[in-house]
Structure 1
Amino acid sequence: MSEPVTIDFGQRNSLWARTLLLLLAILIQGCGTESSASWTTSSPVRPGLFAPGVISTDMREYGITFSPDAREAYFTRRPRGGQPQVFVSYFRGGVWTEPVRWLFSGVHDEAPHVSSDGSSMIFVSRRPMPESGDRSDNIWISERTEAGWGIPTPLRGEVNQPRLNQEDFGSGMEMGPSLLPDGSILFWSRADPDWGADIYRSQVGPDGTYESPAALTLNSTGDESNAVLVPGGNFLIFQAYRDATAPGNQDLYVSRRNAYGWDSAVHLPAPFNSAFNDGYPSFSPDGRTFFFASDRRGASGYYDIWYVDASSLNLDALTR
């Protein structure tokens, strides 16, 4: 029988300490390597299909947003002939996991937007409003704590408006919400059966409600929606149906901020716009990657999510 192994902790204390420090250093280095190998460090210089076969499939996917660490992707998925729902995929082991329906997504939910600190997610839903029962497209919010995502509630304030005609989904429709990084200003679009869709902004009040909606100066007689502020705050990118001479039906536009509001919008050139539909712009949490949805050729022919290095937009030169 072998002799039992004994350890004199008093004599070997320094050895154990050095060993533990070495193991800790290796662990930290390994974590750093995994982080630096994240998808956010390798965005293509020309638009590429994002997570093909996993996030971008033969269904309709659009409106992607991420947790602050860029390891959770929330997006809209709509089967052919079905209703849109919010799905989530996790970046693990260098790949995106098979998406699952978000816990609180119901029959008709879309256009999620996670706040920059990850504490909340706003999205559009046709679930009935608590008091009125209105089922038009309204903006809802879910707060996140250590326990996870909370039960969604309607966004408080003057943003959500009831449908004027319960048979007309084109009235009382709120679409494509996004927030400034500090959550102080909300951008979204409101559809009117007579005027089409326009982009609005609303400032958060002292009590946390969004007040005094105001239409942006960049709106036209066409439809503008799904606006997102470019990191840095000097540009706004949005989708629109506004120019019969544009190559596609729905296209991406950009406007530069000025002292009085926003300059006239500029049509993004190819390869961001195509002869097909392009829209639903968003950015990765670090601002280095630009995302949009398109039904252009080269993918499923139905809406897919595309991504590209944000610096290739060259917005400063484009809007001079």
Structure 2
Amino acid sequence: MADWTRLGLCGVLAALACGCATQPGAPAFSVVGEAELFAPGVVSTDFAEIRLTISPDGRTALWFSRNRPGGAGGYDIWMSRRTGDAWGEAAPVSFNTAGRDFDPAFSADGRYVYFCSDRPGGLGGDDLYRVAVTADGFGAVEHLGAGVNSASNEWAPMLSPDGARLLFSSNRPGGAGRMDLFVAARAGDGFAAAAPVPGGVNTAADEFDSTYLADGTTIIFSRAPDLAADRIDLVFAALTAGAYGAGETLPLGVNDAQADTYGPMLDWSDRQQITFSGRRGGTGDMDLFVVRYRLEGGGR
């Protein structure tokens, strides 16, 4: 494939000046500039790399791959550390298992990494966990408990910037159908029982892989009628009067007209930037990209 680091579809489609706002009074989202391939040859490779999360100090990058050799299992979380302007050789993290370990997300303070796994000891399917970040690497893995996890699948945990809410997706009963977005409030050192994200954001389609933006309420998430059979796009939704609208699909240049785009995550080292995964003219299968954004207006 071509070795390129920028997406220039259709002249960047008028500089990607689409202002997405799904409800009156909601902030408008726009993309600033072009999406850039992240660390080609080190992080973005010929294998499938998904859901990049960057530590608040900008020195550590985590992501997962479902087919990169050298890990403990088929799905593994990988890490690269930055020295100066260069990202170092990637290596699997110490808390991988022989099962599925995926969807890492740093907390805003950098103290924890939240992630998914089907390792033994869960409640069924893929469950949500966290692991402490230590001076030497990582501490003991903690299951997030029955208020968050269920006998169904839970994916893509993301703690809000203020640490008060855990955003994730699940196909458990109680949603609108298929994968839906859920939120759980912090309760002491754990979380209260999760509930569907309020409003019209959950539909009969698959909604998953969500991230808060810097304001702590606006979200970017992935949607497909059937994520196993249909193209996946990134969607923007804002909170107005306590509820989210159905969302608006992001423009081309972030999304792709033919290929999947998913796994968005706020960059904690630069909160005006998001990361995402795309299957397009990069270096391999699913590659990792970063793009700057702007939120304007709105009033909650």
Residue 6 of structure 2 aligns with which residue?
Answer: none
Could you say what the CA RMSD is over the residues aligned between the two structures, in angstroms?
2.5
Write the mapping of 1:4-15 to structure 2, written as runs, cut at 5 A: none
| CA displacement at 1:317 relative to structure 2 | 8.1
Q: Tell me, what secondary structure is at the counterpart of 1:47? A: strand
Report if aligned partners of 1:157, 1:209 keep a CA contact under 8 Å in 2: no
Counterpart code for 1:106 = T
Q: Tell me, what secondary structure is at the counterpart of 1:121? A: strand
Deviations 1:148-177 (A, max 9, x none): 421112013511112xxxxxxxxx100011
Is 2:283 the partner of 1:300?
A: yes
| CA displacement at 1:115 relative to structure 2 | 0.6
Aligned residues: 256
Q: Which of 151, 160, 174 pairs up with 2:140? A: 151
Report if aligned partners of 2:77, 2:104 keep a CA contact under 8 Å in 1: yes
Counterpart code for 2:128 = I
User: Which one has the bigger strand percentage?
Assistant: 2
| Higher Rg of the two aligned structures | 1
Counterpart code for 2:142 = T
Report if aligned partners of 1:157, 1:210 keep a CA contact under 8 Å in 2: no
Deviations 1:30-65 (A, max 9, x none): xxxxxxxxxxxxx98211211111100011101111
Report if aligned partners of 2:47, 2:284 keep a CA contact under 8 Å in 1: no
Greater shift, 146-155 or 47-56, is seen at: 146-155
Q: Tell me, what secondary structure is at the counterpart of 2:238? A: strand
Is 2:167 the partner of 1:179?
A: no
Counterpart code for 1:140 = Y
Residue 115 of structure 2 aligns with which residue?
Answer: 123
Q: Which of 190, 202, 215 pairs up with 1:209? A: 190
| CA displacement at 1:252 relative to structure 2 | 0.3
Q: Tell me, what secondary structure is at the counterpart of 1:287? A: coil
Q: Which of 44, 51, 57 pairs up with 1:63? A: 51
Q: Are residues 316 and 150 of structure 1, via their aligned partners in 2, closer, same or farther at CA, if it must alter by over 3 Å?
A: same
TM-score for the superposition, normalised by structure 2: 0.79
Aligned counterparts of 1:186 and 1:271: Cα–Cα separation in 2: 29
Residue 64 of structure 2 aligns with which residue?
Answer: 76
Aligned counterparts of 1:182 and 1:157: Cα–Cα separation in 2: 23
Report if aligned partners of 1:239, 1:279 keep a CA contact under 8 Å in 2: yes
| CA displacement at 1:215 relative to structure 2 | 0.5
Q: Tell me, what secondary structure is at the counterpart of 1:264? A: coil
Aligned counterparts of 2:211 and 2:128: Cα–Cα separation in 1: 16
Deviations 1:203-252 (A, max 9, x none): 0113x2211211022101100011111101341100011499xxx71000
Aligned counterparts of 1:44 and 1:71: Cα–Cα separation in 2: 23
Aligned counterparts of 2:217 and 2:163: Cα–Cα separation in 1: 17
Residue 96 of structure 2 aligns with which residue?
Answer: 105
> Which consecutive residues of structure 1, in runs of 5 or more, have no partner in the other structure?
1-42, 163-171
TM-score for the superposition, normalised by structure 1: 0.74
Q: Which of 146, 160, 163 pairs up with 2:149? A: 160
Q: Which of 141, 160, 164 pairs up with 2:130? A: 141
**Larger RCO, structure (CA 8 Å, separation 6 or more):** 2
Residue 268 of structure 1 aligns with which residue?
Answer: 250
Aligned counterparts of 1:229 and 1:134: Cα–Cα separation in 2: 26
Is 2:178 the partner of 1:190?
A: no
Q: Tell me, what secondary structure is at the counterpart of 1:310? A: strand
Structure 1 runs (4+) greater than 2 angstroms displaced: 144-148, 192-195, 315-318
Report if aligned partners of 1:187, 1:202 keep a CA contact under 8 Å in 2: yes
Report if aligned partners of 1:44, 1:307 keep a CA contact under 8 Å in 2: no
| CA displacement at 1:300 relative to structure 2 | 3.4
| CA displacement at 1:100 relative to structure 2 | 0.4
Q: Are residues 134 and 232 of structure 1, via their aligned partners in 2, closer, same or farther at CA, if it must alter by over 3 Å?
A: closer
Q: Tell me, what secondary structure is at the counterpart of 1:103? A: coil
Q: Tell me, what secondary structure is at the counterpart of 1:150? A: strand
- Give percent identity, aligned residues only: 29
Report if aligned partners of 2:186, 2:192 keep a CA contact under 8 Å in 1: yes
User: Which one has the bigger helix percentage?
Assistant: 1
Aligned counterparts of 1:299 and 1:85: Cα–Cα separation in 2: 21
